[in-house]
Amino acid sequence: MGIPKGCRTEGVDIIKQACPEHSRRICKKNPAYPQNDLQELLVRELWAIRGMTHEIRANQIANHAGLPLIWLDKIPEINGKQGIEKLLVERSIILLRNRTSPFIEQFQHPIGRCAKFYKLTAYNNCNFWCEYCYLYLTFRTQPVSTHFVNYEKMFDEIIKFDQSNIPEYLRVLNLGELGDPLAVDYITGFAQKIIPFMPKYAPNTRLLFLTKSDCVDDILSLDHGGLSIISFSINTDPVFYQLEHRTPSPESRLAAAAKAQKAGYEVRLRIDPVIFYSTWETDYITLVDKIFEYVRPTRITIGEYRPSNGLANHINSRFPKSHLLKINRSLVKEGGKLRYPERLRIKIFRTIIEAIKRHKDDIAIALCKEPPPIWKAVGLNVKGLRCNCLR
Residue 219: CATH number of its domain = 3.80.30.30
What residue type is assigned to position 124 of the chain? N
88 domain residue, yes or no: no
Q: What is the mean pLDDT of residues 64-73?
A: 97
Question: What confidence tens digit (pLDDT) does each residue in 213-239 have?
Answer: 999 999 999 999 999 999 999 999 999
**pLDDT grade for 321, boundaries at 50, 70 and 90:** very high
Residues 6+ apart with CB under 8 A from 345: 274, 304, 339, 370, 374
41 domain residue, yes or no: no
330 domain residue, yes or no: yes
How many C-beta atoms lie closer than 10 Å to residue 94's C-beta?
A: 28
**Would you say residue 3 has pLDDT above 50?**
no
pLDDT recorded at residue 111: 54
Q: How many domains does the chain have?
A: 1
298 domain residue, yes or no: yes
Distance CA 22, CA 26 (A): 8
Residues 6+ apart with CB under 8 A from 123: 145, 146, 147, 148, 175, 178, 179, 180, 181
CB-based burial, 306-342: b 16+ in 10 Å, e otherwise: bbeeebbebbbbbbeebbbeebbeebeeeeebbbbee
Task: Report phi then psi at 291, rounded to 5.
Answer: -55, -50
**pLDDT grade for 388, boundaries at 50, 70 and 90:** confident
pLDDT recorded at residue 189: 97
CA nearest 106: which of 164, 180, 193, 183?
Answer: 164
**Would you say residue 83 has pLDDT above 90?**
yes
**pLDDT grade for 290, boundaries at 50, 70 and 90:** very high
Q: What is the mean pLDDT of residues 172-192?
A: 97
- For 1, 4, 33, 43, 205, the CA distances from 36, given in Å and listed in that order, are 21, 13, 8, 20, 47
Question: What confidence tens digit (pLDDT) does each residue in 85-135 have?
Answer: 999 999 999 999 999 999 999 987 655 467 789 999 999 999 999 999 999
How much is the pTM?
A: 0.89
143 domain residue, yes or no: yes
Beta carbons of 294 and 258 less than 8 angstroms apart: yes
**Would you say residue 181 has pLDDT above 90?**
yes
Give residue 236's domain range.
99-377
204 domain residue, yes or no: yes
284 domain residue, yes or no: yes
- For 63, 241, 276, 315, 320, the CA distances from 326, given in Å and listed in that order, are 44, 17, 12, 11, 11
Beta carbons of 303 and 271 less than 8 angstroms apart: yes
108 domain residue, yes or no: yes
**pLDDT grade for 40, boundaries at 50, 70 and 90:** low
* Residues above pLDDT 70, as percent of the chain: 88
**Would you say residue 65 has pLDDT above 50?**
yes
